[in-house]
Amino acid sequence: MATTRTIRSVEVLRVTGGRRLTGSVTLPGAKNSVLKLMAATLLATGTSTITNVPDILDVEIMAELLRRLGCEVEHDKDRARVQITVPERPDHRADYDLVRRMRASICVLGPLVARVGAADVALPGGDNIGSRGLDMHVDGLRRMGAEVTSEHGYLLAQASERLTGAETWLDFPSVGATETILMAAVLADGTTVIDNAAREPEIIDICTMLQEMGAVIDGVGTSTLTIEGVASLHPVEHATVPDRIVAGTWAVAAVMTQGDVTVRHAHAQHLSIALEKLVTAGADVDILDDGFRVRMGRRPAAVDVVTLPYPGFPTDLQPQFIAMNSVAEGAALVTENLFEARFRFVQELARLGADVRTDGHHALVRGRRALSGAPVEATDIRAGAGLVLAGLVAEGTTTVYGVGHIDRGYAGLVPALVGLGADVERDLVTE
Ligand code: EPU
């Protein structure tokens, strides 16, 4: 039998190592905030505007999801704004084809149940109701009176009447569960308390936007949020908080390349632990009015990190720190407490010659003087960032596959890197 072979082109990043990064970059808004802010617009009929919107693929996916729910969405990339017009009664189904492309689609669950009393949201891959991943979202909605089931790969939530405020406790300060319960509670009847709530800057950002829309929320930025439900909310204009993970990625890039990078439009206080770690590694960090400057004059010293919910060290910077430790002087122990699967990227880093051993939640990284460029595959956004950073210091050229993952979180990465003096380009290869 004849077989056919399809040849297709895929994008790669070619990173040639050895350049010091110097100059300045301006941060975009945070991916992990803007998607939730866009979902939150569902809570009010009319036109809301989100500004400081990063030009990333996930924003496009969220825009498409909102359009399918009946909203009009205009994305003005030049002005970094998204305008969303929400109808009186949005639709309530989030299909698998979008949810599989972006797990964060789950953030429409809370607003839809609160607003239209129903939500059918495809389950993100690998999860099932009550399993690790969504159990706290579901538990919170049930406490407020929603019926939640799972059928044919969809999570079905229904509330025949307005949701009722309730006391909720999270087993773990989950970002997503805090957001789901918060966005449901703002329109519920009565008081909701979320104990052990997440405290990430992105949670503060969404609380602020909800307050601007007329929500009554107490304890913003603490681990106990108290929400007095109101009958309706109104549309707003809100600016997305700057992306602290992109900021941290630039800071590590400066250290690894022994460079001098100023990150503008950053809130350094959102990165305190990560910046302290870079100081321990030997960097000079100056806090500026609108950001910070990182300078490094020598090979970094290895630093241990332990990921924890905010204000702990962010899991989203763990691969970047493993990359840094892989060329540092000495050895470091990196402990991952949120997403164990994040160590998968270590196998790719090993292709560049990194010496990393993992055991459960721990990775032991022994620094090497040099890495050597090779083809590698990014398996998620932050793994992609870690591999690009490693490529910046590896000898020769590193070809990074899986660019789509990087594009989901890093707006304009290549021009920004080139602007700082890196030798990086996008290329097409056939496979
Ligand atoms: N978890 C449960 N049950 C739940 C909810 C969460 O077991 O009901 C578990 C998860 O399985 C995971 C841990 O708790 O092991 C953390 O989950 P969390 O809900 O805090 O994270 P998330 O909302 O799914 C967001 C970011 C992640 C970031 C984490 C932690 C978005 C879209 N994603 O995820 O960002 O790592 O918080 O800060 O906001 C990234 O940007 O690369 C990324 C993965």
Q: Where in the chain is the domain with CATH 3.65.10.10?
A: 9-28+242-430, 31-239
| C-alpha 177 – ligand 1 centre gap (Å) | 9
pLDDT of residue 2: 56
Asked about 189 being catalytic, the answer comes back as: no
pLDDT of residue 256: 98
pLDDT of residue 131: 47
* 9-28+242-430 CATH, one of 3.40.50.1820, 3.40.50.300, 3.30.70.420, 3.65.10.10: 3.65.10.10
Residue nearest to atom 28 of ligand 1 (CA): 316
pLDDT of residue 130: 40
pLDDT of residue 3: 61
pLDDT of residue 340: 76
pLDDT of residue 133: 83
| C-alpha 105 – ligand 1 centre gap (Å) | 13
What are the pLDDT tens digits along the chain (431 aa)? 556 677 889 999 999 999 999 999 999 999 999 999 999 999 999 999 999 999 999 999 999 999 999 999 999 999 999 999 999 999 999 999 998 888 889 999 999 999 999 999 998 864 334 445 899 999 999 999 999 999 999 999 999 999 999 999 999 999 999 999 999 999 999 999 999 999 999 999 999 999 999 999 999 999 999 999 999 999 999 999 999 999 999 999 999 999 999 999 999 999 999 999 999 999 999 999 999 999 999 999 999 999 999 999 999 999 999 999 999 999 999 999 998 789 999 999 999 999 999 999 999 999 999 999 999 999 899 999 999 999 999 999 999 999 999 998 999 999 999 999 999 999 999 88
SS (H, E, C) the chain: CCCCCCCCEEEEEEEECCCCCEEEEECCECHHHHHHHHHHHHHCCEEEEEECCCCCHHHHHHHHHHHHCCCEEEEECCCCEEEEEECCCCCCEECHHHHCCCHHHHHHHHHHHHHHCEEEEECCCCCCCCCCCCHHHHHHHHHCCCEEEEECCEEEEECCCCCECCEEECCCCCHHHHHHHHHHHCCCECEEEEECCCCCHHHHHHHHHHHHCCCEEECCCCCEEEEECCCCCCCCEEECCECHHHHHHHHHHHHHCCCEEEEECCCHHHHHHHHHHHHHCCCEEEEECCEEEEECCCCCECCCEEECCCCCECHHHHHHHHHHHHCCECEEEEECCCCHHHHHHHHHHHCCCCEEEEECCEEEEECCCCCECCEEECCCHHHHHHHHHHHHHCECEEEEECHHHHHCCCCCHHHHHHHCCCEEEEEEEEC
What homologous superfamily is domain 31-239 in, according to CATH? Enolpyruvate transferase domain (3.65.10.10)
| C-alpha 17 – ligand 1 centre gap (Å) | 32
pLDDT of residue 129: 43
